[in-house]
Each structure stands twice: as C-alpha cells, then as structure tokens.
Amino acid sequence: MSANAANQSSLMAYQELQNLFQRLAHYRHLLALGHWDQAAMMPDGGMQARADAIAELSSLCHAQLCQPQVKDWLAAAEQAELDAWQRANLNEMRRQWQQANLLPAELVKAKSLAGARCEHGWRQQRKQNDWQGFAANLKEVVALSRQEAAIRAEHLGCRRYDALLELYEPGIDCATLDSLFGQMKSWLPGLIQQVLAKQAQEPVIPPQGPFAIAQQRELGLAAMAKLGFDFNHGRLDVSAHPFCGGVPSDVRITTRYSEDDFTQSLMGVIHETGHARYEQGLPKAWAYQPVGEARSMGVHESQSLFFEMQLGRHPAMLEQLQPLMVQAFPQQPALALDNLIRFYTRVQPGFIRVDADEVTYPCHIILRYELEKALIEGEIEVEDIPALWDEKMQAYLGIRTLGNDRQGCMQDIHWTDGSFGYFPSYTLGAIYAAQQAAAVERQLGSLDELIRQQRLGEVFAWLEQHIWSQGCLYSTPELLQRATGESLNASYLEQHLRRRYL
C-alpha cells in the first residue's frame, strides 16, 4: 500500500471515530436532559421509569464505545496525518475509550440504577434527617464505586482513589492533594481566626424577608444578563441542589430559593452562570467531539468561582447589583451598599458547604476529600461517616454535627451517584480562578477598574480566548501555563483572601 493510500485509510478510521463520538454526543444530550428533568421537573412517581431509561441509555453509550472495531479504528487513526486539534481529539477519544472499556456493562448499569435510587431517596431522607435510610442506599453505591475504583486502579497502576480522581481532574493524585491541602491547613485556620477577629468590630445587618420567589427569580435573571448568559441557548430553573447541566447549545442551570433569604440564591445563580458561560463558550467547530468538551471539573469550577468570587462578591460588582436588589425588594437598611459589601464578604463557620464563604469553604472540601479517600480505600465504612464528619467539623470549623446529619454528611448530592473524586475539584477551581484573575489584572488592569468602567466584556473575552475556546486542546497544566504564564501556584488564592478580608 502506498503512503498516500495508507494515510487515506487512516483518515477513514479517524472519520469513523468522529461519527461514533458525534452519535454518542447526541445520546448524552438526551441523558443530560433526562437528569435535568429528574432534578427539576419530574414527579416522584416517575422515578423508577426514569431510572430504567437512564440506565438503558447509559448502557447503550457504553456498548457503542466498547465495540471491537473501535480499538482498530484508534490504532489505524494513530497513523493518520492530523492537525493539532484532530490529534488532541484522537487523544481524548482514546482516553474515553480506555475508561469505558475498563468497566463491564453490568457494573455500569448497576451503578446507574443504585445512584438513581440513592439520589431519589436522599431528597426526602435529608429533609427527615434519616441517616439510617440514606446509609442503606449509600452502602450499595459505595460498594459499586469500590469495584469501579479497583478495576481502574489495576489498569492505571495507582491507588484506588487516584483512579477516580483521574475521571474528574486528569493528572491530579492523592500525593499532590495531600501536599496542597496540607499547605492550606498550615495557614487557613490562622487566617480564619484573623478575619473573624477583624469582622467582630464590623457590624452587619442581615436582610430581612420575606422575599418573594418571583422577585428573586427576576433578580437572578438580571444578574445572568449582566454576566453575558445567552438565553437563546439556556434557561434557569429550580432544583433541590443547584447545578449546571444540559449541553453547550442548551445549558440548564438551577438554583433553590428561600423566602427568608435571597442572598444565597443570587450568588448561586452567579456561580452557575460561570459554569454556563464556559459551556456556551466551548469551541463550536468541535461540538459533538471530545476535544470540544470542557477540560476538567477543576477548570469548570474555576469558571464558576471566577464569576462568583472574583467578580460576584467584588465590591465594584455589588455596587452594580445593589440597585437591582433595591428595585426587586422593599427598601431596608440591610440593602445599603456598604452593608451589602460587608454581608457578602462575611466570614462565619457554618454547616452547609454551598452556603459557605470563600475563606472557610476549603475546610469543607478538605473534610470531604479526607473522608471519601478513606471510604474508597476501605479504611472506613459508611457507618463511620457521621462521627468522623463531626470530628473533622470540630477540628476545622469548631462546629458539632453529630445527630444533625441533614446539615452534616447528608447535605451533598455528589455521593448519591458515586461521584467520588469530584470534591477536590472545587478547591482546585478556586486556586485556578485566583491565578487566572491575577493574569487578567496583569494584562487588562485591576478588576475594580474593569468592573467600574463597564469593561466586563474584556474580562469575558480573555476567558473565552484563554480558557473556553480551548476545549480539550491542552492538558490542564498546559492550559493554565498558556493562560497565566506559569504552572499551578496556590499562593494566588492565599493572596486574594488576605487582600479581600484583611
């Protein structure tokens, strides 16, 4: 066979792979909408049928990716003359294929069914503080997750929890996180105490409800518009746990409302808008292909935290949001700008991760990381979680949770479907976001000036150029290096926190 004919044959194999992954993208589109509907719209009685449908479609995706010919296509396509984007796409295809082929189809289906049951039960069990009921379902999820971790670890030649980390943040392992979180534990407790002492001299007035849900929704939509959300390709809804789902051309974000407090839902919407802008900004030329997907969960969290923490809680941004709050709700002293700034930068150790301030937030993540790592490695069992959660909450934040599992170890949705290895992405995202913000300020000027001068478009253009439009063209370390000019540097997060809070 001539060199030209061989290249044509290799390109045909690559085209077969593109066709396959486009088909998978369409299936996953429907899966994403099924999950969104389950969380936001589905009546309780639809749970079993929905769980069966999602499991069936998940199994179909798995079977498509595990067809024998895919291995041959990957081998043949490796010899093709490809450009940088095509080569990166092929690398991502191989990574997804390897991950899928490690797991037997029956394990994929069993894990999907167990996760659906656990998540559905959690909705009521959390409200009722029913740890025993929740634990019964969680044990099955943990058992299946351990099986998955063992299979992946054997293939990768690593420890079990490292194998699950690889699913969410490729290249990050326990050794890296132990070092990173160990460093944070050396300065974070002291910083928390310094900030608490400082803020004890700065009184703040909490907003007093009730705040009508309809007005809260309108306020959230106005904030989304200010932050450039494309409503032609997305929408806002309500769920028990805020999230961003759907697909880039149809992004679904959710929040939750309380008539007693509008402030958390507003920042929740801003947070999810960061996720959504990343999805909406992914390279459209590579839609339906792996290289056109988000790089990692840590990078995804960096965008939501850039929007919420670097922008949303910035005094200059609050100055622009304050008139919208005054327009939405009855006037009261708490809505004065100086009070809102103090309120939104208030540091207070609390039970709930999603409501935590950005100074204490890493403590919530470190706690979860330490527990789920031990759980997957078999060092602890599900029955041990409440007592250990209480022990670590006392050590890190001075709070007791024993007997209060609703506000303790049952508060998150992540473990219900076996998303072990996900939690570290939140604090990695905070570190990435602080480093990106520092790069923005070096290149464009201070965020304070950019916001006050109505130049947010320049900030979004920077993010689109350096993060969003790059998809999976580069690894996370290379993406960060190219965007900021240096490798991962956690000192930017510490600098950001000290500058804002001290």
Q: Which residues are catalytic?
A: 272
Q: Using CB atoms within 10 Å of the CB of residue 303, give its burial: 0 to 12 exposed, 13 to 18 middle, 19+ buried.
A: buried
**Sign of the CA dihedral running 466, 468, 470, 472:** positive
Residue 153 phi/psi, 5° resolution?
Answer: -65, -40
DSSP-derived secondary structure for 226-251: HTT--GGGEEEEE-SS--EEEETTEE
Q: Minimal CA–CA distance to 103: which of 50, 159, 164?
A: 164
- At a CB cut-off of 8 Å and minimum separation 6, what does 141 contact? 111, 114, 115, 118, 415, 416, 417, 418
- At a CB cut-off of 8 Å and minimum separation 6, what does 446 contact? none
User: Cα 213 to chain center, whole Å?
Assistant: 25
Q: Minimal CA–CA distance to 237: which of 215, 218, 252?
A: 252
The residue to which tokens 């167990």 are assigned: 114
Report how far residue 69's alpha carbon sits from residue 319's, in angstroms, rounded to the nearest whole number.
58
Look up residue 309 and give its DSSP letter. Answer: I
The residue to which tokens 């369409």 are assigned: 26
